[in-house]
Amino acid sequence: MKGNFKNIIALSIVPQILFIKWISHYPNLIERYYSDNLYNYISKFFRFLFGWIPFSIGDILYAILIILAIRYVFVKRKYIWDNKLIFLRNILFVLAVAYFTFHISWGLNYYREPIASKLNITENHDKEDLLDFVTLLISKTNEAQVAITNDSTKMVKNPYLNKVIFKKTIEGYARLKKIHPFLKYEQPSTKESLFSIGLSYMGYGGYLNPFTNEAQVNSLVPNFRFPVIAGHEMGHQIGYSAENETNLIGYLVTLNNDDRYFKYSAYAYALNYCLRDIKRNDKEAFEKLLLQINPGVKKNYQELAAFWKQYENVTEPIFKAIFSSFLKANNQKDGIESYSRVVLLLVSYHQKHPL
């Protein structure tokens, strides 16, 4: 590839960044022409292309690219040292191509209209409304746990294999579409990540590969939590990038499932986030609410905490800080804390659609 062409592509990253900054002020345009139109065709094409393959093509591509990059730096180390400007140009070239591909294949969804506008709700910050909702949610979670175990002290053990959970999640989307047609899910491409051990050490339950549109789920996560994570990642596939919004979608698609294990997973998931929010702001109220939760439900939470604890390491905060910075750079000002903002949506949603 000729040097001048590489120079042009490398320098194109500047106008690309400026364009994204400009278009981000027009979410209605992104919603109309990208999220509801162009993205649908792009995402369905890639899910059709890779969805039938039982393993993750995206994970393999990432692994190959990492190996090639390390090999290039090692083999060409002397050339790189002697030609620093050319090496810098080559890095900018790769970044410019990746930046363009990321935004055209999925990333522009970060700047679409909020899901709250389509649901006709607004984020609810009222403390009393949250406490009322959590009280009801505790009751629902306890009831679901006892209905499965017939014993308030036993934790729920989801009996399904991950592949069955993927299938049932798709069924949940079919039911959710009847309530909210814009949340329809077509052309499945959801897989267990080949990097599940690595994801566990980084503290992640899954991710969407924006270049292959495969939803990757950490296969090691305890099964009682797995359905909501699968629903969350599939929510990214249908064009929602904000983490609080896909948290809501993951919860709704799991809740709107006939299966009792799925309903329990949804209730326990929402309750977990709400309790964490209350604990940050009112520890006394948190302690009182905690007393109302069945021991079996608490054991599931302990199971989840123990799972993440066994993978704790010195690099996890670094990876989370990097991801938080990535989110902030992509229109999520709260970074990794944006996951927790699902609480505001949950309260508002269930005021309009009671449990």
Same domain, 73 and 145: no
308-344 in b/e form (b: 16+ CB < 10 A) is: eeeeeeeebeebeeebbeebeebbbeebbebbbbbbb
- Let me know: does 205 contact 225? Beta carbons within 8 Å: yes
Specify the DSSP element, H or E, that contains 66.
helix 57-75
Same domain, 70 and 94: yes
In the listed set 111, 145, 167, which residue is the last one of a domain according to the structure? 111
3-class DSSP state of 187:
coil
Same domain, 103 and 192: no
Same domain, 102 and 124: no
Same domain, 237 and 289: yes
In the listed set 111, 136, 169, which residue is the last one of a domain according to the structure? 111
Same domain, 141 and 104: no
- Let me know: does 131 contact 251? Beta carbons within 8 Å: no
Same domain, 85 and 205: no
Could you tell me whether strands 206-209 and 190-192 are parallel, antiparallel, or unpaired per DSSP bridges?
Answer: unpaired
Same domain, 183 and 319: yes
Cα(123)–Cα(348) distance, rounded to whole angstroms?
A: 6
Q: Report how many domains make up the chain.
A: 2
Same domain, 239 and 284: yes
Alpha helix (H) residue ranges in 238-290: 243-255, 260-281, 283-290
At residue 134, φ and ψ (nearest 5 deg) are -65, -40
Local confidence pLDDT in tens for the 355 residues of the chain = 566 888 999 999 999 999 999 999 999 999 999 999 999 999 999 999 999 999 999 999 999 999 999 999 999 899 999 998 999 999 999 999 999 999 999 999 999 999 999 999 998 888 999 999 999 999 999 999 999 999 999 999 999 999 999 999 999 999 999 999 999 999 999 999 999 999 999 989 999 999 999 999 999 999 999 999 999 999 999 999 999 999 999 999 999 999 999 999 999 999 999 999 998 888 999 999 999 999 999 999 999 999 999 998 887 777 677 766 766 777 777 766 766 789 999 999 999 999 8
Same domain, 78 and 226: no
Residue 71's contacts (CB-CB under 8 Å, 6 or more residues apart) are: none
Same domain, 201 and 71: no
Same domain, 73 and 176: no
Specify which residues 207 forms β-bridges with.
216
Q: Global pTM?
A: 0.93
In the listed set 111, 137, 171, which residue is the last one of a domain according to the structure? 111
236 is in which domain, residue-wise?
120-352
